[in-house]
């Protein structure tokens, strides 16, 4: 790891002023930044430690929804009783991510900003071509080993997956990212690669995420995060789904549903076509299966990741069916 200067920010303003300098990077939990510095991908001249700032780690939940400070730790949010009750999918997306050690270190702000695990991106010594790292240099993944690469939102320039779990749940809930004074809808916050894969979010130099707001929604309390992966724990998603569901009083007709996908797209992926196909319909296995296939509309495979196109709709269908049968039971409707 190349050496750098270390600054401990005394305030958010000082952190921003420092971060606008060329070569400066914010350091929160360090679980992405120091990892990538060791890979030779991140080469900061200065790191600005924000972990000693106070007042940015509160977790507040009320009738309007939740507000989570950018420095709240993944573990703290995962275990927060009010979050578990109001937004179970958020808690589950965090509990199923990384390991407890990493969750104790990593912050919510840093979590959104985590970088892809594309092995070519992470290995500049062996693979010089990577449009995300070195714009215009090409993409080593296309034509290479692509088992964990994206099938949705890809471009000719980059097919790297966004691997984070939390953001998938946040996209389902229409969360808002607070960047100091400005607020951005989370679906707009993340960018598809297009011709500029080096640009992943709307964050500009010198900006800092200060918190996340999650508006209350009817189905939020009845939500789930289902993560399917190559090993049972401590692994990124092969495919995942965050789903929230509100049924009519009959216990079978969909009043509102939110569906988002992880592990298969270049950004946390809202599957609105699935939602539209189900609103107003009675839930049964065939309807759910047919609607879930819409989750991968427009998907493009690059060899080894072909399986994701078959897997993702099944993950969506299972998440919806599990929620529906649970809802039917608890509402006393037809089970």
Ligand X SMILES: Cc1cc2nc3c(=O)[nH]c(=O)nc-3n(C[C@H](O)[C@H](O)[C@H](O)COP(=O)(O)OP(=O)(O)OC[C@H]3O[C@@H](n4cnc5c(N)ncnc54)[C@H](O)[C@@H]3O)c2cc1C
Binding site for another protein (CB under 8 A): 1-6, 8, 27, 29-31, 34-35, 37-39, 47, 49, 51-52, 75, 98-102, 104-105, 232-234
CB nearer another protein, residue 44 or residue 69: 44
Contact partner at residue 233 from ligand SF4, ligand X, another protein, none, CB < 5 to 8 Å by partner kind: another protein
Interface residues with ligand SF4 (CB under 6 A) are 116, 118, 120-121, 130-132, 139-141, 158-160, 197
Contact partner at residue 277 from ligand X, ligand SF4, another protein, none, CB < 5 to 8 Å by partner kind: none
Alpha helix stretches (DSSP H) within the chain: 12-19, 33-39, 74-78, 81-86, 88-95, 100-105, 108-112, 166-172, 186-189, 272-278, 285-292, 306-331
Least spacing, CB of residue 5 vs another protein, in Å = 6
180, 11 Cβ separation under 8 angstroms: no
108, 77 Cβ separation under 8 angstroms: yes
Place of tokens 């270390």: 6
CB nearer another protein, residue 117 or residue 289: 117
**3-state SS assignment for residue 256:** strand
DSSP code, position 294: G
- 330 exposed, middle or buried (CB, 10 Å; 0-12, 13-18, 19+)? exposed
Interface residues with ligand X (CB under 6 A) are 25-33, 35, 70, 97-98, 102, 105-107, 109-111, 113-114, 164-166, 203, 208-209, 236
Least spacing, CB of residue 207 vs ligand X, in Å = 7
Distance CA(127)–CA(141), nearest Å, equals: 10
Contact partner at residue 116 from ligand X, ligand SF4, another protein, none, CB < 5 to 8 Å by partner kind: ligand SF4
Chain length of the chain: 335
CB nearer another protein, residue 114 or residue 327: 114
Contact partner at residue 236 from ligand SF4, ligand X, another protein, none, CB < 5 to 8 Å by partner kind: ligand X
Q: What is the DSSP code string of 105-145?
A: H-BHHHHHTPPP--TTTT-TTT---BTTTSTTS-BSSTTS-
CB nearer ligand SF4, residue 135 or residue 280: 135
Contact partner at residue 314 from ligand SF4, ligand X, another protein, none, CB < 5 to 8 Å by partner kind: none
């Amino acid at each position: 790891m190349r050496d750098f200067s270390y600054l401990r920010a005394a305030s958010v303003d000082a952190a921003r002023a420092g971060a606008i300098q060329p070569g400066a990077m914010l350091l929160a939990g360090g679980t992405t930044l120091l990892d990538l510095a060791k890979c030779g991908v991140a080469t900061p001249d200065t790191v600005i430690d924000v972990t000693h700032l106070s007042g940015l780690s509160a977790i507040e939940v009320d009738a309007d929804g939740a507000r989570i400070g950018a420095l709240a730790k993944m573990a703290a949010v995962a275990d927060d009783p009010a979050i578990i009750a109001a937004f179970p999918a958020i808690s589950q997306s965090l509990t199923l991510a990384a390991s407890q050690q990493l969750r104790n270190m990593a912050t919510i702000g840093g979590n959104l900003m985590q970088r892809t695990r594309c092995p070519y991106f992470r290995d500049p010594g062996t693979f010089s071509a990577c449009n995300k790292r070195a714009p215009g240099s090409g993409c080593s993944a296309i034509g290479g080993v692509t088992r964990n690469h994206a099938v949705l939102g890809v471009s000719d320039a980059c097919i790297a997956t966004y691997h984070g779990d939390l953001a998938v749940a946040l996209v389902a809930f229409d969360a808002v990212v607070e960047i100091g004074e400005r607020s951005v809808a989370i679906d707009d916050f993340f960018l598809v690669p297009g011709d500029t894969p080096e640009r992943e979010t709307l964050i500009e130099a010198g900006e800092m995420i200060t918190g996340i707001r999650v508006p209350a929604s009817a189905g939020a309390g009845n939500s789930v995060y289902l993560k399917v992966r190559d090993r049972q724990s401590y692994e990124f998603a092969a495919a995942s789904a965050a789903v929230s569901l509100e049924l009519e009083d009959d216990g079978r007709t969909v009043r509102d549903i939110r569906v988002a996908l992880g592990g298969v797209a270049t950004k946390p992926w809202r599957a609105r076509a699935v939602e539209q196909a189900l609103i107003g319909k009675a839930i049964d296995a065939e309807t759910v299966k047919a609607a879930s296939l819409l989750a991968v509309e427009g998907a493009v495979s690059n060899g080894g990741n072909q399986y994701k196109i078959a897997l993702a709709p099944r993950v969506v269908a299972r998440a919806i069916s599990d929620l529906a049968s649970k809802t039917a039971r608890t509402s006393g409707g037809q089970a």
